[in-house]
Amino acid sequence: MLLTALILLLVVKLGSSDSQGLATAERWVRNSYAPLQRGVDWVQQGLVQFGIRVLGMQDLSQLLEAEQARNQQLSLENMQLRETQAEVERLRALLDYKNAHNSQFRLEAARIIARAPNNWYKTMTVDKGADYGLTVNMPVITPEGLVGKIVDVSSNTAQVLLITDREMAVGAILQPTRENRGIVEGIGDGRLRMVNIPYYSQVQDGDPVVTSGLSQTYPPGLRIGTIRDVQKEANGLVLSAFVEPVVDFDRLEEVLIIKSFQAPSEPVNEGG
Amino acid sequence: MRSLVLVFLPFLALYLQSTLFRAISIYGVVPDLLLILVIFYAVFSGSNKGAVYGAACGLWEDLYLGRVIGVNAICKGLTGFILGRMQGRVFKDNVLVGVLGVLAGTAINSLLLLSISFLAVPGFSLDRAVWADVMLQGIYNVIISVPLYIWYFRSSGAGVLQEGLIR
């Protein structure tokens, strides 16, 4: 009780308006709160600043998203343009080839729409068929060289047997030596093999191989591939060699079909 | 509904094999979705049905390919018959059943195809490239078979492939 009364007296005493002590006490009390208040204020300010930053970041992130979307759109357009450009270049090459060989071949351009659904046959399906005058055994080419021949035709599609198929054989000639007894066969794994090359042949790696024209199915002079790895057969009478095709069959998208041809006086398509 | 789906699936499989999967082939090798379908059907339905479905799918493929009609019908029919022996002997809820079934089925189908080709096609040689293709296809088939088996299993239990389901 006494202590309480003393404190009250002290407070009343100090509480007089002109008391210097009150100011001191008040300052002391206020000062004691000050760190906490500053802390609260700091937190409040921090929250406000955080809010501003978040809002700002939202704006920035919105901007970023918009820019990313625009970037994606532009990338897509760029990709489409590149695709279109590549297609234009391919079609221009086909057209140039067609114009250059107009006198020798009657050509029909076609787009590849499907490939063999299994791994045993090397075939592809093109988007033109009997309606465009295509028939079985017509040779299929690109400006680079021989692709294969048509083996089946429906009204609006045709199936092309590639020269890499195991059942395919094409009469071929070694361009530098003009030896024309060779036969190029598909071996099923994307490569070709030339067999029946005379043992005395001067064939060597890098020699170009073209169609001989002896089979009546293919016009002479169409490029088939390049000789790689010449080997002597077990009987010692003939040589054989792997042939690397000039056509990249995995990247084919359009082809030309030879509807009819005249035997040219000079081999065609030498040098592409 | 089940019958319609079973008729539609080979059509879809062949379509995907000749287009989409050609674009994502590995070293020129595509998975045999049609064979996977036949294997799953045989495992779930037994030898007799597996043989008939396999032969029908093979015939469909032969007709599409336009080569020697009957080769794939025989091979897939026999594969379906053999794999159908698994029906009733394995727990089909284990995805390993699908994986091992596809591995075995691919081996059987490939051996049958190669045997026929070796006997019937003059000059056909079983070289390293052929075996590499077979092995690569086996691996590709197995990888693809995991999600397909899960789908097939679920569809057979309570989906479009459920027997007796009318929708």
For A84-105, the pLDDT digits (tens) are: 888 888 888 888 887 777 777 8
What pLDDT sits at residue A11?
47
Confidence grade of residue A179 (pLDDT, cut at 50, 70, 90): confident
Is B153 a domain residue?
yes
Lowest-confidence region among A226-235, A256-265, B66-75, B128-137: A256-265
Which residue range is the domain that position B78 belongs to? 2-158
Task: For chain A, say whether B115 makes contact (Cβ under 8 Å).
Answer: no
Is B167 a domain residue?
no
Asked if B14's CB is within 8 angstroms of A116's CB, the reply is no
Number of domains in chain B: 1
Asked if residue B34 has pLDDT above 70, the reply is yes
Count CB-CB contacts under 10 A for residue A32.
9
Give the list of residues 6+ apart from residue A76 with CB closer than 8 angstroms, or none: none
Whole-number average pLDDT of chain B: 87
Asked if residue A172 has pLDDT above 70, the reply is yes
- Spell out the alpha helix ranges (H) of chain A: 2-14, 20-100
How many angstroms separate the CA of residue A109 from the nearest CA in chain B?
20
Is B8 a domain residue?
yes
Single-letter amino acid, residue B13: A
Closest-CA residue of A relative to B113 is A120
Asked if residue A266 has pLDDT above 90, the reply is no
Is B165 a domain residue?
no
Asked if residue A171 has pLDDT above 50, the reply is yes
Regarding predicted confidence, which is higher, A36 or B2?
Answer: B2
How many angstroms separate the CA of residue B147 from the nearest CA in chain A?
20
Q: Which residue has the tokens 């002590």?
A: A21
> How far apart are the C-alpha atoms of A44 and A118, rounded to whole Å?
70
| pLDDT tens string B85-98 | 888 888 888 889 88
Task: For chain B, say whether A234 makes contact (Cβ under 8 Å).
Answer: no
Gyration radius (Cα) of chain B, Å: 15
CB-count burial class (<10 Å; 0-12, 13-18, 19+) for A99:
exposed
What residues of chain B lie within 8 A of the CB of A167, using their CB? 121
Is B164 a domain residue?
no
Is B43 a domain residue?
yes
Lowest-confidence region among A21-30, A180-189, B102-111: A21-30
> How far apart are the C-alpha atoms of A215 and A178, rounded to whole Å?
16
Closest-CA residue of A relative to B114 is A120
CATH code for the domain of B45: 1.10.1760.20
What residues of chain B lie within 8 A of the CB of A121, using their CB? 65, 67
Dig out the tokens for A208 from the structure: 């170009």
How many angstroms separate the CA of residue A257 from the nearest CA in chain B?
20
Give the residue-averaged pLDDT of B44-71.
Answer: 89
Closest-CA residue of B relative to A190 is B28
CA dihedral A198, A199, A202, A203 (to 10 degrees): 70
> How far apart are the C-alpha atoms of A211 and A145, rounded to whole Å?
10
Do residues A102 and A256 lie in contact, with contact meaning Cβ atoms separated by under 8 Å?
no
Whole-number average pLDDT of chain A: 79
Is the reported ipTM for this assembly greater than 0.85? no
What pLDDT sits at residue A4?
52
Strand partners, A256: A109, A141
Is B131 a domain residue?
yes
> What Cα–Cα distance (Å) separates residue B153 from each residue in A188, A212, B50, B84, B138?
36, 56, 16, 15, 21
What residues of chain A lie within 8 A of the CB of B19, using their CB? 113-115
Is B166 a domain residue?
no
Count CB-CB contacts under 10 A for residue B114.
18
How many angstroms separate the CA of residue B115 from the nearest CA in chain A?
13
Mutate to test the interface with B, among A83, A111, A118 (most CBs of B within 10 A): A118
Asked if residue A229 has pLDDT above 50, the reply is yes
Confidence grade of residue A216 (pLDDT, cut at 50, 70, 90): confident
Asked if A190's CB is within 8 angstroms of B17's CB, the reply is no
